[in-house]
Structure 1
Amino acid sequence: MHNPSSTQVKIVTADPSAIGLFGLAIVTLVASSQKLGLTDGLSLVIPWAIFLGAFAQLFACIHDAKHNNTFGMTAFGAYAFFWFATATSWMVKMGVFGSELAGAVDGKQLGFAFAGYLVFTLFMTIGAMETHKVLFFIFVLIDLLFIGLTFDAFGAPEAFHKLAAFAELGIALLSLYGCGAAVLNTHFGKVFLPVGRPFGIFKARS
């Protein structure tokens, strides 16, 4: 009896973390400029939120799924959809979808969304401890961003808005470094830009 042979094909894909971090870096850089009062309005923040914050991170999410990287897939996917929702919320407030929606805005609803993302980011920060230190500190800054955004949405003092603004700028700068490290360390096959070893608290260092 003839037994047909089977062939296994391994598909190798590049590490998508660099493009994901790049998307995060650029959108937070542009958005923080508005929060810090360096630029005005949200009209030209929205395209960067959609294409860099959302689509670039969604692309990284999909490819991290192919790598069987649950942590990366979940992180990039969750923040991609955050930026889709944020850009849409801005457009609602600006009246893009009509005056009826714009007139019914309650900013506290965003506060509940930000609070949910804060909880999510806190446990993702624990996971980042066993990836590398640059990623860990990016998540710490995202924690601070969501603390600031949450309290600001509920009408807390201006200091929380400033906390969100400076945290967002820090995310941008550190994510740019992380992107550069991911690209150049892989490209040169050695540590060109150090990212720091995992903490080794919850699992042994490899």
Structure 2
Amino acid sequence: MSTTSETRTTRSNAPLSEPRAADPTSSIADPGPLGLAAFALTTFVLSLFNAGLAPEALESAVLPLALFYGGLAQLLAGMWEFRKANTFGATAFVSYGAFWLSFAAYVQFVEPTLPEAQHTTATGLFLIGWAVFTGYMLIASLRTTGALVAVFGGLFLTFLFLAVGDLLGVDGIATIGGYFGLLTALAAWYASFAVVTNATWGRQVLPTAPR
């Protein structure tokens, strides 16, 4: 048998490469802008009170936002991030959605049952754990975009200053945390604005500094 015919026989018997499976999530919209917007608005309103820029008597206005926008909307966004196989986004949105839901429950049901002298200590303990979580999420965010690094960097400082201020009973430190919260909210709004605008326009209109 000739070399040519052997080659043809070998090629005809070679297994065909299997076609790549279509991405089942390609038709699912990016849930990131929703989660960021929900986080930003709720954080902004609460931080107005933490920074002393809004009257403390109106602070209960945060609770509906914490339940339905910062809480429920972020939780849903996180579930869709799981569907999109985005481990970072899913962990962040589900966790911070749960933060807002637990914060609303804490303020509404737990804090009133505590001795008044221990309110700030209990709140500080509640927040310090979130500072730890945000710290390692900040490290993970270094592989995402500059916009998200700004969000997590600001949020880490927000939790840290609020927690330390409450644990030490120093209002001035907690107030600084409130201002960091306002900056964090603005960074999250920008990140949401950039992603949703770029997706809608079909090109990069606003930079997010991808890494």
TM exceeds 0.5? yes
Q: Would you tell me which structure has more helix in proportion to its own residues?
A: 2
Q: Which one-letter code corresponds to 1:123 in the other structure?
A: Y
Unaligned residue ranges in structure 2 (runs of 5+):
1-20
CA distance in 1, matches of 2:23, 2:157: 44
Give the stretch that moved more between structures: 86-95 or 115-124: 86-95
* Fraction of identical pairs, as percent: 29
Aligned 8 A contact 1:147 1:160 in 2: no
CA distance in 1, matches of 2:133, 2:111: 28
Q: Offset of 1:67 from its aligned partner?
A: 0.5
Please give the TM-score of this superposition, normalised by the length of structure 1: 0.83
2:207 is the alignment partner of 1:194: yes
Q: Offset of 1:157 from its aligned partner?
A: 2.5
Aligned residues: 187
Give the stretch that moved more between structures: 134-143 or 149-158: 149-158
Alignment correspondent of 2:90? 73
Q: Which one-letter code corresponds to 1:10 in the other structure?
A: P
CA distance in 2, matches of 1:167, 1:121: 14
RMSD value, Cα: 2.1
Alignment correspondent of 1:20? 35
CA distance in 2, matches of 1:9, 1:68: 11
2:61 is the alignment partner of 1:44: yes
Aligned 8 A contact 2:162 2:175 in 1: no
Alignment correspondent of 2:24? 10
CA distance in 1, matches of 2:87, 2:152: 16
Give the stretch that moved more between structures: 136-145 or 81-90: 81-90
2:63 is the alignment partner of 1:56: no
Please give the TM-score of this superposition, normalised by the length of structure 2: 0.81
CA distance in 2, matches of 1:54, 1:178: 19
2:197 is the alignment partner of 1:184: yes
Q: Which has the larger radius of gyration?
A: 2
Q: Offset of 1:127 from its aligned partner?
A: 1.2
Q: Which one-letter code corresponds to 1:111 in the other structure?
A: G
Unaligned residue ranges in structure 1 (runs of 5+):
1-6, 96-100, 199-206
Q: Pairwise mapping of residues 86-97 of structure 1 onto structure 2 (< 5 A)?
A: 86-92=103-109, 95=112
